[in-house]
Amino acid sequence: MKEKLKAIKIVLFDLDGVLINDSNDENRIDEIIRLLRDFCDKMNELGILVGVITGREADEVTGKIGEIENIKILTSSIDKVSLAQKIIDENNLQCENILFIGDELFDLPLLQNCGVSAAPKSARREVKRAVDFILDSSGAGGILTAIYNLLKNRNTDAG
C-alpha cells in the first residue's frame, strides 16, 4: 500500500455523503469550505491536486467550492469515471495517481479503477467492502484530516 500511496498525485472526493453528510452540514457550508481550503493548501505543499466529483447539479455549494484555489469541481454526472478521466487528461495523470473517497454504489466504478480508494465509516456496506481504507471518521473535518495524515507520511519509513 505504501507504494500505491507514493503514486498519488490527486485526491478526489465525492461531495454528498463524504464531505457533506446531512442538512446540518448544508447549514455549516462556510465551515466546510474553510476546512476544504486549508486541506487544499496542505495538499498543494505536498504537490497533490484536489478535486470534487459529484452527481449534484451545480448550485450554491458547488459554486463556493469552485472558488477555492487549487481545487477542481466536476458536477452533474453519476458517471464519475468519465469525470475523473477529464481531470486525468488535463493533468497528464493515470488512474493509479488517484485517491478517491466515495460512499455510494455509483461511486464503485471509480473506487475500483483508482490507485487508492477510501470510504467514510458511514458509507454503504458494499462500498466499504470494496475500498482499500475505511476512514474511522465521518464529516468533512475528520475525513480531510485522515487523508492529509495518510499522505503526508507516505514518503517516510514510519508512515
The pLDDT tens digits for 130-149 are 999 999 877 899 999 999 99
Cell of 74: 466536476
Closest listed residue to residue 53, CA positions, set 120, 121, 99: 99
Q: What is the pLDDT of residues 81-130, one digit of tens each?
A: 999 999 999 999 999 999 999 999 999 999 999 999 999 999 999 999 99
Distance between first and last Cα of the chain: 11
- Please state the domain extents for the chain: 2-152
CB atoms within 10 A of CB 56: 17
* DSSP-derived secondary structure letter, 54: -
| pTM (2 d.p.) | 0.93
Residues 55, 106 contacting (CB under 8 angstroms): yes
Domain 2-152, CATH class in plain words: alpha beta
Residue whose C-alpha cell is 517516510:
156
